[in-house]
Structure 1
Amino acid sequence: MNLKEQLKGTGVALVTPFKENFEVDFDALGKLIDFCLSNGVEYLTALGTTAEAPTLSKQEKIDIVNFVYDKANGKPVVVGIGGNNTREIIHELETFPLDKATAILSASPYYNKPSQEGLYQHYKAIAAASPKPVLLYNVPGRTGRNLEASTVNRLAHEVKNIGGIKEASGLMEQCMHIIRDSPEDFLIVSGDDHVTLPLIAAGMHGVISVTANCFPKEFSDMTRYCLAGDYAAARPLHYKCLEGNDLLFEENNPSGVKAFLAELGIIKNVLRLPLVPLSQPVHDRVKKYLKEEFKK
């Protein structure tokens, strides 16, 4: 079974809950995973940017991954392992517990801005070292360098262990070039919650979502309706979540989603520096939105 079949639908980019003393709150993480799975999310993604992975120690990351495996209840688990030091990523791939992972999600290098050839060689080296299929993750708003469609499709066709991409460039034309020119079994998922509906209409296979942490039923139902071609059913859910999506990303991710989850009583509203909770005016709008749209 290829990734296109295993990871179709909605994956949730799990946050990492913290206690008030900033230790990882595994009880809250378990509560969050149960909430997402019981409301229809198809798979779990651990240690993405939404998980505040840059602020976690290696041991914390390993403990979180093992915990997510145990709580996944047979659902696929994608593990985030990325960065801007290719050799260190390869070392992590060799030392992390990945036997139970379905795939690796690897964000493009940040800050050092490699050329397209550098990005190609970076991912080729990671794919060669990875014991699991690799999902490219293009998020130029965070990394500072766009992984262009020509490079994505070169990797998709030439590197056997590259199984798909999470595309979060926001560039619709680029997305369509990837959809048109990639191999038939290449998984293409949205990394932009706002535009998941039109991207699936264009041919994507689902989403790895921040929104699905706090609105798992609405967002995964919307995604399934889109994949079934029932856009009349999908559109009301898309627009119900639209203002919520704006609030989720207004100041920072995961500050927004942690505010929502705290209001829902699932986690504490605690982040590790350099991230801080939402400003009070935006948090007040979160509470107002939940009260008006979700009667919370």
Structure 2
Amino acid sequence: MKSFVGTGVALITPFKKDLSVDVEALHRLVDYQVENGINYLVALGTTAESATLSQKEKELVKAEVVKANRGRLPLVLGIGGNNTGALVEELKNSNVEGFQAILSVSPYYNKPTQEGIFRHFVEISKASPLPVIVYNVPGRTSSNILPDTINRIARHCKNVIGVKEAAGDVVQAMRLISMVPKDFLVISGDDMVTLPMILAGGKGVISVIGQGFPKEFSEMVQEGLHGNVEKAYKLHYKIAPSIDLIFAEGNPAGIKSLLAKKEISENYVRLPLVEATEDLQQKISDFVSLF
């Protein structure tokens, strides 16, 4: 579990102009993270536009991330859904070679009760060949996993090792940290509140902006984990404006614009998402030029 303390990044899936997967850009992106202090990588999460990838493309991304990583960092694989039975079968049949954990989002659209969420993750826990990190992101799922439910999952499902907490509610995060087992990882899923969560006892972040500014963001996280509050907040406030910018028109349009400015990948997304507007791209470009 120590592998997932610190800064993880939710990798984008780079596309070419024809919207095919850009394998060369994916390799550049992985190298950029490894070389700049990131602790682990997450493939095929929401930021990867996994909802618009075919199964063949998902297998390609998985294979290329493993190949590009070359065993240098721990890898997490996003496997989630709102059909518990289908997800159990997917977990049983997925090739997870090269990965060390699964990130699984709370069921979306169905809007299950807390009991339904609990039972869902009990089944995921039973089926998963790897340790599981729960992903709570009410803004996308329309259902918030309450601290009591996370605590219940943590104590009942021994291979559920943590939660990516993206409710954007520091008070909820603090309540969660106060009640879960000591070795259970409470990981920020919201870049802007990462540092407050760490200082309250969280173990790090799975970040979007981190892949754009890996050196600075991972340094901020490490300073926070070591209690160097002044240094950590100095870095936080340096990076913070970019967080607002990359989410201004949705994710991953913003971070793809930033990575295009850094010449790591191109600025293409798949419908129903659209590229960042020219105005936002210019603002992002202006900010990047300050670093």
TM-score range (shorter-chain normalised) is over 0.9
Q: 1:215 corresponds to which letter in structure 2? A: F
2:198 matches 1:234: no
What is residue 54 of structure 1 aligned with on the other side?
51
Gaps of 5+ in 2: none
Structure 2 residue aligned with 1:13, among 10, 13, 21? Answer: 10
**Partner of 1:187 in structure 2?**
185
Q: Size of the alignment, in residue pairs?
A: 290
CA distance in 1 between counterparts of 2:70 and 2:37 reads 13
Structure 1 position 73, deviation (Å): 3.2
Separation in 2 of the partners of 1:72 and 1:186? 26
Q: Residue 24 in 1 paired to residue 31 in 2?
A: no
1:269 corresponds to which residue? 267
> Which of 50, 59, 66 lines up with 1:69 in the alignment?
66
Give, in whole Å, the separation in 1 of the partners of 2:88 and 2:68.
Answer: 27
SS at match of 2:274: coil
Partner of 2:164: 166
Distance 1:174 1:257 in 2: 27
In the alignment, residue 66 of structure 1 is paired with which amino acid?
A
Partners of 1:20 and 1:138 lie apart in 2 by 33
Moved over 4 A (4+): none
Range moving further from structure 2, 280-289 or 208-217: 280-289
Return the letter of the residue paired with 1:51: A
Residue 4 of structure 2 aligns with an amino acid whose one-letter code is L
Q: TM-score, normalised by structure 1?
A: 0.96
Runs of 5+ unmatched residues, structure 1: none
Deviation at 1:178, TM superposition (A): 1.2
The alignment partner of 1:17 has SS state of coil
How far the C-alpha of 1:162 sits from its partner, in A, is 1.0
Shift of 1:119: 0.4
Q: Tell me, yes or no, if the aligned pair for 2:170 and 2:193 is still in contact at 8 Å.
A: no
Counterpart selection for 1:43 from 28, 40, 44: 40
Q: CA–CA distance in 1 between the matches of 2:112 and 2:67?
A: 37
Q: Deviations over 1:117-151 (max 9, x none)?
A: 00001111011000001100000011110011010
Shift of 1:95: 2.0
Q: 1:139 aligns with which of 137, 144, 152?
A: 137
- What's 1:278 paired with? 276
TM-score (ref. length: structure 2): 0.98
Local SS of the residue matching 1:166: strand
- Identical amino acids, percent of aligned pairs: 48
Backbone CA RMSD of aligned residues: 0.9
Match of 2:207 among 206, 209, 218: 209
Deviations 1:32-77 (A, max 9, x none): 0001110000111000000000001112111211211122232100
CA distance in 1, matches of 2:96, 2:23: 20
Does structure 2 retain, via aligned residues, the 8 Å contact 1:12–1:208? yes
Structure 2: distance between partners of 1:177 and 1:235: 23
The CA distance in 1 between the partners of 2:174 and 2:235, in whole Å, is 24
